[in-house]
Structure 1
Amino acid sequence: MKHFPIFVRLEGRRVVLSGGGEAALAKLRLLLKTEAHLTVFAPTPAPEIEGWAAEGRLRLVRRAMEPGDATCAVLFYAADEDDLEDARTSALARADGAMVNIVDNLEDSAFITPAIVDRDPVTVAIGTEGAAPVLARAIKADLEARLPATLGTLARLGKAFRRAADVLPMGRKRRDFWADYYFGAGPRALQDGGEAGVKDALQDLLEKHENVAEREGHVAFVGAGPGDPELLTLKARKALDSADVVIHDRLVTPEILELARREAILIDAGKEGFGPSMSQNEINALIVEHAQAGAQVVRLKGGDPTVFGRLDEEIDAVTVAGIAWHVVPGITAASASVAAIGQSLTKRGRNASVRLLTGHDMKGFADHDWRALSRPGEVAAVYMGKKSARFIQGRLIMHGADRATPVTLVENASRPDQRRIATTLDRLVRDMDDADLTGPALMLIGLAPRAVEVEDTKTKQEFA
């Protein structure tokens, strides 16, 4: 991020612009929506600028800019539509201490003006750092259609009521009040009774929330999916948006954690097979501790929490503590991985069942029905199987599996750095070592990528 987005307070402050043509008009139409003191330097200003000056909306100086003209200005726009004049006026403004924007000159500008969706006092700014103005305009058009015109009225009335609402304690109770206002009582009151109705509704809503006890802690066990934020369910997004505390494992991607509420406490409780990690008892205690303190806790797990996520142990812990909970399922890695290779886990005439195994549970592996899995056409998805690949290979071959059985490894399924490695049971360990897998990988036994043909024991690799 080369440009950090901020909202600059312009109320009563000075903004200077040099230029009188189309570029100046485009900037002034935006700046006139603010409460800044605008000064325009233009020897030959457009009629619109002259009209705004006559109305007292800006100060017009009919000459070229000179040293000292930008003194005390917080922002300066060079809109002369002439490279040499823009360079001259921007140098003068910098000398006077103003932040400079040169129209259509990203490299020499200290700040940029984003595309704006105006629902005053609600303002949405959209910037692409100059990379894709067309995309910014498309996003603006989409938001314009989505955000009702009444949004600004609700925000303005809500702002005037904030001091009264401060009688509610900070935190969850105050947030619940404002959520009820903006997404329920406020829009209904505005539609039924206009602004007067909204003011009455705010007072009634405040009295209601003053008399409501603090919400008790709650735990949501949420599946984060395989890593792609677009694969999150709507329920998962809603849970993250309302969470006070998010306790996540190491497979949850930064892009998904970014979706949590900014004020939420993020706790990394990552467990790593065969390596250092937080114990399950410590994780259970952490969940219970925050929920008993009244927090809305999201226990965020990669994939689906019901698949090799030790969900039962955590549910037992919160149940014993008398804490309410619910489960939000997610897309498991097996589903994402099989989609990545263009296959399905089951297929008519091939296999009517599929096995989900975890390579982390070596004791469970030893007791597994390997003879059944070694039959032609059988399919299994092995989670956390990198370190146990040699054991899997040996067990299957020992029980009669064809050495040419296709095996596909999918690393970082659904993510931008996803890789698919197509191999065979015979070459599994060697090809895994050659691939040098560093991310989470799922092993699909009995399946090859649709786009990859495996001939005899010769292995082809496809990287996506």
Structure 2
Amino acid sequence: MQHFPIFLNLRGRTVVLSGGGEAALAKLRLLMKTEATLRVFAAEPCDDLRTLAADGRIALAERALQPGDVTGAALFYAADEDADEDARTAAIADAEGALVNIVDNLEDSQFITPAIVDRDPVTVAIGTEGAAPVLARAIKRDLEERLPPVLGLLAKIGKLFRPAAERLPMGRARRDFWADYYFDAGPRAYEAEGEDGANAALEDLLDRHLSRSAQDGHVDFVGAGPGDPELLTLKARVALDKADVVIHDRLVAPEILELARREALLVDVGKTGFGPSAAQDDINAAIIEHASQGAHVVRLKSGDPTVFGRLDEEIEAVEAAGVAWRIVPGITAASAAIAGLGQSLTKRERNSSVRFMTGHDMKGFAEQDWRALARPGEVAAVYMGKRAARFVQGRLMMHGADPATPVSFVENASRPDQRVVEATLGDMADALSDTPLDGPVLTFYGIAPRRARAEAAAFEQEMAL
């Protein structure tokens, strides 16, 4: 992030602009929404600028900007639409302590003005670091359509009501009250009775929320998917947005944790195979502790929580504590990894079933029905199987599996750094040794990558640009 987004208080401060044409007018239309004092210098101002000056909207000096004209100003815009003149005025402004923006010159500007959706006092700023102005305009247009004009008025009414709402407990109780007002009671009351109705709705709504008993805690067991944030389900996204506490696994991608509410407490209880891990009893205790305090807890698990996620143990602990819960499924790693291979988990005349296996259990390496799996055409997805590769290889070959059976390893499925290693049953352990894989790996027995997958991956990357 090159440009850090902030909202600058311009009440009573001065903004200076040099320029007398369309570029200057475009900036002024935005700046006149603020409470700043606007001073404009233009040797040849257009008629619209003279009209704004006559109306008292700006202070206009019909001359070129000179040293001393920017002293004490907070911001300066160079909008003369002439590179040499813009460079001259920008140098003056910089020397006199103002932050400088040169219109249509991102490289030499000290700050940029984002695209803005104005629902005063609700303001949405959209920036793309100058990389994609068309994208910024498209996002702005979409938000303009989504955010009703009445939102600003409701926010102004709500701002005055905030001291009264402090009678509600901090956290979830207040959030529920304000969400009820902005997205339900407020708009309905305004539509029916205007501003007076919206004001009255707040009083009635507060009484109802104050009369409610203390909020009970709740736990959502949420699947974070394989890592790509775009593979997160809509229901999971909503749960993260409402969570007071997010108790997450080590493998949950940072980009997904970024989607949690800024005020949410993030608790890392990551488990590492054959390494340091949070004890399951401690994880259960953390979930119950926060939920018992009335928090909305999201227990965020990589992939799908119902697949090798020790979900039953956590549900049993939550139920024993009398806490309500639900499951929000996610895309499991096998589905994402097989897509990365360009293959299908099942195929007519090859296999009508697929086994989801774990490479190790709580006592070490996990035993399976190796004889059945060794039959031709069988397919298995082995989770947490990286360290168990030689064990799996030995068991299958011991029971007669063909050493030429294809095996694929997929590291960091669905993520930008995804890697695929192709092998056979006969050399799978050596293939892993020759190509160390540091990230989470899913092993496919009985499936090889599709040959056209490289071209497909290149197309996907091109479409993402």
TM-score (norm. length: structure 1): 0.95
Deviation at 1:172, TM superposition (A): 1.6
Q: Is the 8 A contact 1:422 1:452 kept in 2?
A: no
Give 1:347 shift.
2.0
Counterpart residue identity of residue 181, structure 2: Y
Task: Find the counterpart in structure 2 of residue 41 from structure 1.
Answer: 41
Give yes or no for contact 2:360–2:366 (8 Å, CA) kept in 1.
no
* Correspondence for 1:220: 220
Q: Which amino acid aligns with 2:307?
A: V
2:325 counterpart of 1:317: no
Confirm or deny that 1:266 pairs with 2:276: no
Match of 2:203 in 1: 203
State the match for 1:188 in structure 2: 188
Q: Which residue of 1 aligns with 2:446?
A: 446
> Within 2, Cα distance between the matches of 1:362 and 1:396?
21
Which residue matches 1:160? 160
* Cross-structure match for 2:230: 230
1:102 corresponding residue in structure 2: 102
Displacement of 1:366 after TM fit? 5.2
Verify the 8 A CA contact 1:185 1:201 in the aligned structure 2: yes
Query: Are 2:71 and 2:96, in contact at CA under 8 Å, matched by a contact in 1?
Result: yes
Query: Once the 2 structures are TM-superposed, how far is the Cα of residue 258 of structure 1 from its aligned partner?
Result: 0.2
Would you say the 8 A contact 2:100–2:111 is kept in 1? yes
SS in 1 for 2:205: helix
CA contact (8 A) 1:419 1:463 kept: no
Counterpart residue number, 2:80: 80
The residue type equivalent to 2:392 in the other structure is I
Cross-structure match for 1:326: 326
What does residue range 315-354 of structure 1 map to in structure 2 within 5 Å? Answer: 315-354=315-354
Specify the alignment match of 1:9 in structure 2.
9
Partner of 2:373: 373
Is the contact between residue 420 and residue 463 of structure 1 (CA under 8 Å) also seen in structure 2?
no
Q: Does 1:307 align with 2:304?
A: no
Question: Are 2:333 and 2:413, in contact at CA under 8 Å, matched by a contact in 1?
Answer: yes
Gaps of 5+ in 2: 459-465
Structure 1 letter corresponding to 2:289: E
d(CA) in 1 for partners of 2:364, 2:83? 73
What amino acid is the match of 1:86? Answer: D
1:115-194 equivalence runs, <5 A: 115-194=115-194
Q: Alpha-carbon deviation of 1:40? A: 0.3
Aligned to 1:296: 296
Cα distance in 1 for residues equivalent to 2:164 and 2:69: 44
**CA-to-aligned-CA distance 1:366-399 (integer Å, 9 cap, x gap):** 5311000000111100001100000001111111
Contact 2:382 2:443 in 1 (8 A): yes
Q: Does 1:415 align with 2:415?
A: yes
Q: CA deviation at 1:164?
A: 2.2
Does the C-alpha gap of structure 1 residues 93 and 388 become closer, same or farther in structure 2, counting only changes over 3 Å?
same
Aligned residues of 1:410 and 1:420 also touching (Cα < 8 A) = yes
Distance 1:438 1:62 in 2: 66
Unpaired runs of 5+ residues, structure 1, are 454-459
Deviates more, 1:209-218 or 1:326-335: 209-218
Tell me how far 1:190 sits from its aligned partner. Answer: 1.8
Deviations 1:152-178 (A, max 9, x none): 222222222222222223222111110
Does the residue aligned with 1:267 lie in a helix, a strand or coil? strand
Distance 1:463 1:42 in 2: 54
Question: Quick check: 1:421–1:463 contact (8 Å CA) kept in 2?
Answer: no
Tell me how far apart the structure 2 counterparts of residues 346 and 364 of structure 1 sit (CA, whole Å).
29
Matched residues in 1 for 2:359 and 2:341: separation? Answer: 21
More displaced, 378-387 or 163-172?
163-172
- SS for the counterpart of 1:161 is helix
Question: What amino acid does structure 2 have at the position aligned with 1:25?
Answer: L
Aligned counterparts of 1:328 and 1:75: Cα–Cα separation in 2: 48
Q: Report the more deviating stretch, 371-380 or 158-167.
A: 158-167
Q: CA deviation at 1:221?
A: 0.7
Q: Secondary structure at the match of 2:421?
A: strand
Residues 99-134 of structure 1 show CA distances to partners (whole Å, capped at 9, x for unaligned) of: 111112222211100111112211111111111112
CA–CA separation in structure 2 for the residues paired with 1:43 and 1:343: 68
Q: Which moved more, 1:361-370 or 1:102-111?
A: 361-370
What is the rounded CA distance, in whole Å, between the counterparts of 1:93 and 1:102 in structure 2? 11
Distance 2:151 2:103 in 1: 31
Query: Which has the higher mean CA deviation after the structures are superposed, 224-233 or 189-198?
Result: 189-198
Write the distance in 2 (CA, Å) between the matches of 1:363 and 1:375.
Answer: 27
Task: Give the superposition deviation at 1:364.
Answer: 7.8
Deviation at 1:451, TM superposition (A): 2.1
- Aligned mates of 1:210, 1:129 — CA distance in 2: 45
Q: TM-score, normalised by structure 2?
A: 0.95
Q: Aligned pair 1:431/2:393, yes or no?
A: no
Give the equivalent residue in structure 2 for 1:456. Answer: none
2 CA distance for matches of 1:349 and 1:141? 51
Separation in 1, partners of 2:414, 2:366? 31
**SS at 1:300 equivalent:** strand
Output the CA distance in 1 between the equivalents of 2:71 and 2:89.
Answer: 13
Range that drifts further, 252-261 or 55-64? 55-64
Per-residue displacement from partner, 1:330-388 (whole Å, max 9, x unpaired)? 11001111122122212222222111111122758553110000001111000011000
- Measure, in 2, the Cα distance between the counterparts of 1:116 and 1:362: 54
In structure 2, how many angstroms separate the alpha carbons of the residues matched to 1:34 and 1:191? 28
User: What SS does the aligned partner of 1:426 have?
Assistant: helix
- In structure 2, C-alpha distance between the alignment counterparts of 1:169 and 1:294, rounded to whole Å: 11
Aligned-residue offset at 1:145:
2.1
Paired residue secondary structure (2:64): coil
Shift of 1:84: 2.1
Corresponding residue SS for 2:113: coil
Report SS of the residue matched to 2:347: coil
SS in 1 for 2:281: helix
Equivalence for 2:463: none
Distance 2:147 2:274 in 1: 50
Amino acid at match of 1:3: H
SS in 2 for 1:128: coil
4+ long deviations beyond 4 Å = 362-366
Structure 1 residue matching 2:38: 3-state secondary structure: strand
